[in-house]
Chains A and B, each alone.
Chain A
């Protein structure tokens, strides 16, 4: 990594990442990169290993083998530097319902070492951006599911991460909120953030620059949505995904 100039280097790198739970191999050597300004959709049915992968990417535990690098920092050996460069929206909501939107964001800002004077202006900026500035002092409990997710996105952006990880972020949202969230993330992509968007919903992957299909702990294929479709000979990304993950003989890794 250090031998590559930063501008062309991938922001997020996974190299032969493996993880087992006892005899159960959850990840069997997963490799892919996400470049700055790239939106990569990680598609996989339930049980594909996406959640395990996210736990490794967020340093919640370490891989048995292989490595994860964020902006060149190895997650296992220099987790503090690596974690400082990523923003995460977890699948499960991680907001304090009884605290205000601002208090939730402030908690995160302090954990990231952003002093209050600085975080006050950042919190206003980011709430303006997602259209929730009027709710700044409202308790999170009073917000809709879609708005709670937006607050979590806002929180993930407070420390200006180079990599944004979205783990099944649209689960439980209505179609309009899903679309809004996706649009927000696409705008971030255009600002140069590297985005890893994990989902089992194929339509969300249509907007991606690149799709990686994960199944039973292995990368089945990767490429642009059009390439994945062409590769499988299917008529759409949805049928390509079904074909790849339904047990019909899959082609060799692309």
Chain B
């Protein structure tokens, strides 16, 4: 694989993702309305219910809105990551996937190109959300915008890779809504997106606390939260990277011609 060829292919895949994103005018709006509803409505109603004590990375009492910003950034990444898997399933049904997979490039590279293109859109949306949050006076330190970039990219890739992995197994678009409910909502609620995990521990929900600590999304949110305040969360970051590698390897394996992505759905003769 020559570097120039690899870059041209990345350009092809990215360009197509961007054009599709722009064509679907509602996508950006719906990607932003969801976290903004949480930020503006939910957080307003709950800010006096949840008292958030001083925990790292915060060095002072913070309003509830500020607490949930990293979780909502995670939500943007999570939904867009799942959206990219939906796009894979759609492309497979439309046959465009064949075009991609018969290109003279290693299959893992084509998947990586897809992942990078989707992550780029995820991260852009995350920044648009940050900007709107700032307009609502729920800001993070300006330096955090910069520090968060690598962590948002890694977290976006990890969640996108999870989407790719799901697209190996979800064969039809109709099944996708179910997958969303089984993946997105448990991941989001079993995480420190809306409340610090010690609250779960404190209320005796040990099983839920245990599940939350094993949830990759938890670590994406925490890594982003620390990065926004210029701090490193090494354990969370390591888990995000490890999950990214595992999810991507499994997805690449799933699209391997030896196993055959069409093996189970493909039937001879039709």
**A interface residue numbers (CB < 8 A to B):** 19, 21, 24, 26-27, 46-52, 55, 58-62, 76, 79-81, 83-84, 86, 88, 90, 92-94, 96, 98-99, 103, 106-108, 110-115, 217
Contact = CB atoms under 8 A, between A and B. Distances in A.
Contact of A59 (B96, B257, B268): B257
A246 to B, nearest CB: 17
Contacts of B270: 46, 51
A91 to B, nearest CB: 9
B5 interface: yes
Nearest to B8: A110
Contacts of B2: 113
Contact of A21 (B5, B101, B104, B263): B263
Contact of A111 (B1, B94, B105): B105
Interface string B237-263: 000000000000000000001111111
Contacts of A76: 257
Among A55, A81, A103, A110, find the residue whose CB has the most chain B CB atoms closer than 10 A. Answer: A110
A49 B100 contact: no
Interface residues of B, number: 36
A225 to B, nearest CB: 24
A115 B261 contact: no
A141 to B, nearest CB: 12
A115 B19 CA distance: 20
Contacts of B262: 55, 60-61
B9 A62 contact: no
A201 to B, nearest CB: 16
8 contacts: A46-B269, A59-B102, A80-B1, A83-B102, A94-B96, A113-B9, A113-B104, A217-B268
A208 to B, nearest CB: 21
A62 B258 contact: yes
Interface string B89-105: 00000111011111111
A52 B95 contact: no
A115 B96 CA distance: 21
Contacts of B258: 61-62
